Structure 1
Amino acid sequence: MVTEIKLGLCNPPEPIYLYVKNGELSGESYLWYNYNINNEKTIPVQQRGLTGYLQNLRLTSKEFRGQSNLKLDIVIAADEIYIVRTGIETNFAKTFLLAVSQVKDFSKPLIIAATPGEENVVFCRLYDAATKIRIRSEWNRDADWAGIISNVQSKLVASQQEVTFPQQQTEPNQDVRVKQIRILLNYPVELVVEWLQFQGVELPNQLEPNKIDELVKLMCLSWGQDKFENLDFATNSYQKSVVGAMNNGISEIEAITTWMENISEREILNPA
């Protein structure tokens, strides 16, 4: 199912940065935070886990107090794009790299969790998002970190060539659905409002899809009522031509349009 794109005003699709740090603000402890550059404000993130698809690993050099610091950026695709940033020499980076080196299939989502250690240390734990099983690895302070990053990047490239990330599923917009069909059938909007009021609601989105199915059928039969000998014939035609077509994968709008065209052609060929 294709994700519905909402039109109108929105925020720019910028990534959300999570900076790893064992800190405290206003009496609340946290293990990573987001930073609002405009307000120069640290925003603690209380959730200690992030679920998503590992998309990339990057090494980024940042200047701090006149010195260059190498950072590991862990890019995660979820409801938004998240970038977990931590120093390459930190325990978080090393425990993450050791665990992620054990992952074989990056087409499946992972859970990256920040875990507190002694003093201000933060470790990373990695889980299979589907099974909630922790991905374990042996500690190795002398591991080839650059080699691990390169190997994971190669796996990610191969994985992204083979699969596409599943799109978030959204429920159909019943308001739009009813409006499109009403306009197509030239059905009076006042009658739609009256029908909705009878159901005790103001908008189609407030009803279950099966109730909207009833409204769509009502509008279609209203259009076709004077084109058949009786209501039963109209109903049978609707079920066969519209519902049957939709069951075969045809979109609702296309099915109704074709049904209307066929009936109109029949009237032209067989005038009363």
Structure 2
Amino acid sequence: MIIAATAGEQNTVFCNLYNAATKTRIEREWNKNADWATIIHDIQSRLGGTSSTIPSVAETPVTPAKLSVVPQPVHLQDLRVKNIRTLLDYPLDLVKEWLQFQDVERPSLLDIHQINELIKTMCLAWAANKCEYPNHAESSYQKLVVDAVVSGVDELTAISAWMQQVQAVKTGAV
């Protein structure tokens, strides 16, 4: 079994598990009430092992863990892009593709102008099928997001307001 720590991926809480022989990912739905012995048993069953190698809770000695995992701090620009991507429901694969085009693995390796361009790209892609007039989305983005952030408005708040305005224009509510 291969346990690969994968911080920052969309649906990964702690790590991904892979079958070491086939190098295929072992899928497991998240259940906050599941007990680890059952999870391990299910994984071993899928790998062809038996649960007899897993000690029961009663057999497991209570000793402090010898390994400690120190979480790495998330860079603010990475978190910024993630939060905006989530708000827009923008596909993670498209962000990764955009970053690869820039020859980087994560937003924090870009300069601020490139990060701003990525965010604008995500926002305008979100608005693409929501505006009858393509220039409206871009001009309103400049006014309601860029200018608002410069004047001190929280970026997520500004983008949310812009999204509402774009949707209101399409429905004729403005």
Q: Which of 162, 165, 168 is the equivalent residue of 1:262?
A: 165
Q: How does 1:99-110 map to 2 (within 5 A)?
A: none
Q: Distance in 2 between matches of 1:222 and 1:173?
A: 23
Q: 2:81 maps to what in 1?
A: 178
TM, length-normalised to structure 1: 0.35
Q: CA deviation at 1:259?
A: 0.8
Q: Find the aligned partners of 1:260 and 1:234 in 2 and give their Cα distance.
A: 9
1:269 deviates by: 4.1
Larger radius of gyration: 1
Output the CA distance in 2 between the equivalents of 1:263 and 1:228.
Answer: 7
User: Number of residues paired by the alignment?
Assistant: 100
The yes-or-no answer on 1:205 pairing with 2:115 is: no
Match of 2:94 among 174, 178, 191: 191
- Tell me, in whole angstroms, the C-alpha distance in 2 between the residues paired with 1:269 and 1:207: 38
Match of 1:214 in 2: 117
- Matches of 2:102 and 2:169, distance apart in 1: 36
Matched, 1:250 2:153: yes
Structure ranking higher in helix proportion? 2
The CA deviation at 1:265 is 3.0
Q: Deviations over 1:88-137 (max 9, x none)?
A: xxxxxxxxxxxxxxxxxxxxxxxxxxxxxxxxxxxxxxxxxxxxxxxxxx
Over 3 Å counting, the alpha-carbon distance change for 1:196 and 1:219 in structure 2 is same
- State percent identity of aligned pairs: 47
| Greater RCO structure (CA 8 Å; 6+ sep) | 1
* Separation of aligned partners in 2, 1:244 and 1:200: 29
User: Are the aligned partners of 2:131 and 2:170 in contact in 1 as well (CA < 8 Å)?
Assistant: no
Unaligned runs of 5+ in 1: 1-171
The answer to whether the Cα contact below 8 Å between 2:137 and 2:166 also exists between their aligned partners in 1 is no
Alpha-carbon distance between aligned partners in 2 of 1:188 and 1:267, rounded to the nearest angstrom: 23
RMSD of aligned residue pairs (Cα, Å): 1.8
Alignment of 1:1-272 (within 5 A): 173-270=76-173
> TM-score under structure 2 normalisation?
0.53
- What amino acid sits opposite 2:77 in the alignment? Q
Q: When you count strand as a share of all residues, which structure comes out higher?
A: 1
Q: Deviations over 1:214-243 (max 9, x none)?
A: 000000000111222343222111101111
